[in-house]
Structure 1
Amino acid sequence: MVELEAWYEEDQDDAVIVRTPAELDAVLDAVAGRDGRVLVDLYVAENPGRANFNVGLHGQAGRGALYYAGGGQQWFSTETPGTDWGSAEPVLYYLMSSDTEYPADSEIPLDVVRRAAHEFMTTGGERPVAPAWRAAPDWW
């Protein structure tokens, strides 16, 4: 298990350091309690360049979305494995009031999103095994 840096507040000057699963849950709960689709940006505290993990939470809908970048690759969660980035309108998540597009079918159940965030922490920044993932398009 590693410490994580969490970024999610518009006026944050420093990362919130997350040391325990309970602290991670507190961050996820706070963000899931907000209106709309909101992102938490997570990094391994001792090596922030190792991976970037965006955890999208849409608490009212019980859904969320994930983005992982590490090892020169980028991945989005997907509810329909094997599909490409479709022509359907993307969904927007917000990180510190900045919008970020996700594929239309990237939203997955919130409990899967939470488990993935915990797996990211326990594996030291590896891409979580669940959910299903889709590689980001070349133009991303």
Structure 2
Amino acid sequence: MHEQVEAYYRQEHAAERVKLTVDDVDSLIDTLLCGSDAENMAELHSLGRPLLASGFPDHEFLVGVDKKRSAGVLSFMDEGGNFVSCGRPEGQGDVVFYFVVDNGTEFPDGSEIPIGLVRQATKEFFTSGGLRPKCVEWQEPDW
């Protein structure tokens, strides 16, 4: 059985997160690529990890894609720290922005990676039970 993940990437998921399996990853990425620029990132939480005493997940995995640049970003946060993908050093400026339902998140310049690697890392997140994917390089953002 594949690990289930709760996802938030469209307004209709605000009240109740959608549940996905690894078999849904390609469709998720394609949906983000075909959507608006204000909805080009998903917030994922593995159901295989424990909740904090507050009832919130102990981690967060963000997956963003930009169809115009044919690139994407990843962010992973848990008790071990905050990390973003480490990609091509040349970029568009100081930071890049990705959006979960109009809520923007800044990523450092040089954090974008190829979309194929975004797909691979997202599948690894699902199959590892919600661990930080090892198939990408990570960096700690300065902020």
When the two structures are superposed, what TM-score results if normalisation uses the length of structure 2? 0.82
Correspondence for 1:122? 127
State the 1:23 CA deviation: 1.7
Structure 2 unaligned residues grouped into runs of 5+: 52-56
Question: What is the number of residues matched between the two proteins?
Answer: 131
Correspondence for 2:116? 111
Identity of aligned residues (%): 27
The answer (yes or no) to whether the contact 1:53–1:68 under 8 Å persists in 2 is yes
Q: Which whole-Å CA distance do the structure 2 matches of 1:115 and 1:57 have between them?
A: 13
Structure 1 unaligned residues grouped into runs of 5+: 82-87
Bigger drift between 116-125 and 54-63 goes to: 54-63
Q: 2:141 aligns with which of 126, 136, 139?
A: 136
Q: Which whole-Å CA distance do the structure 1 matches of 2:122 and 2:67 have between them?
A: 15
The answer (yes or no) to whether the contact 2:7–2:43 under 8 Å persists in 1 is yes
Correspondence for 1:65? 73
- Once the two structures are superposed, the pairs formed by residues 1-140 of structure 1 within 5 Å of their partners are 1-12=2-13, 13-19=15-21, 21-36=22-37, 38-46=40-48, 47=50, 49-79=57-87, 88-137=93-142, 140=143
When the two structures are superposed, what TM-score results if normalisation uses the length of structure 1? 0.84
Q: Which whole-Å CA distance do the structure 2 matches of 1:45 and 1:59 have between them?
A: 29
